[in-house]
Amino acid sequence: MSEETPDLAPILAAEGISLRFGGVRALTDVSFAVRRGEIFSIIGPNGAGKTSMVNCISGRYRPTQGQIRFDGQDITRLGPNRRAALGIGRTFQNLALFGHMTVLDNIMVGRHHLLKSGFLRGMLYWVGGAQKEELAHRREVEEIIDFLEIQPVRKAVAGTLPYGLRKRVELARAVALKPKLILLDEPMAGMNLEEKEDMARFITDLNAEWGMTVLMIEHDMGVVMDISHRVMVLDFGRKIAEGEPDAVLAHPEVRRAYLGEDALEAEPVEA
């Protein structure tokens, strides 16, 4: 948990986001803002539209209505690669490593928009500045590798690694982008307790020491309540609550969504 209060200016603002696939409403008029420097989590039951929301932010989906602003710029119409170059990194719910490439190559792809050497300059590898540039990048990449504790597997082919390590490599690849905002789609799904604790530590360190704003989807409520500064709850594509973890947990709508209406009646909530 980081102690300092996050800067209040939003780094990401979503206004009135609706997303429809034919007759299916994945998201309906969702507005929220992520403040610079905070860990912001989106929770909700399965099918609530969490991943759809993240896909709208990363550019994989284009919202049917609404506007997304990042760092003061309207990015609603930008393609995913342009958004990545602006500083939005992401990981995927289902592992999405380049399985046949080494860990190092995977991470280097994450550097893509930072590597300036074009094709011709690359040809003049030893003559031009490419080598110097490469060294600087290597140093930063090594820093990321150290931080995520994946040194022993840096040369390994990504597809051969065990699950928990792959999740970490995927995080390393997203971090290599040097994003201002990192979107984590279920970073702890399928992990055991120890792996979850490691991952939670990495996320809080990324936030506190590397200064990255984190937007996370996670099912493990313990972790979410532990490390998030603020939480938003989606249910059937609508926002039903937003705020600090404790307040959100106590929210009657949230209790209804999670525990069912009957439970709410049997056990009314104070506050």
Residue numbers of the site for another protein (CB under 8 A)?
58-60, 79-81, 84-85, 89-90, 92, 96, 98-101, 105, 108-113, 115, 117, 119, 122, 125, 173-174, 177
CB of 24 to another protein, least distance (A): 20
CB of 86 to another protein, least distance (A): 9
Task: Give whichever of 13 and 84 is closer to another protein, judged by the CB atom.
Answer: 84
Structure tokens at 53: 């929301």
CB of 263 to another protein, least distance (A): 38
Task: Give whichever of 107 and 223 is closer to another protein, judged by the CB atom.
Answer: 107
Task: Give whichever of 165 and 233 is closer to another protein, judged by the CB atom.
Answer: 165
Integer Cα distance of 181 and 211 in angstroms = 9
Give yes or no for a contact between 71 and 7, defined as CB atoms under 8 angstroms apart: no
User: In this structure, are strands 65-70 and 73-74 parallel, antiparallel, or unpaired?
Assistant: antiparallel
Integer Cα distance of 149 and 142 in angstroms = 10
Chain centroid to Cα 96, Å, comes to 14
Task: Give whichever of 170 and 220 is closer to another protein, judged by the CB atom.
Answer: 170
- Of 209, 237, 173, 197, the residue nearest 39 (C-alpha): 209
CB of 266 to another protein, least distance (A): 43
Give yes or no for a contact between 89 and 179, defined as CB atoms under 8 angstroms apart: yes
- Altogether, the residues listed in the chain come to a count of 271
Task: Give whichever of 185 and 242 is closer to another protein, judged by the CB atom.
Answer: 185
First-last CA distance in the chain = 26
CB of 184 to another protein, least distance (A): 12
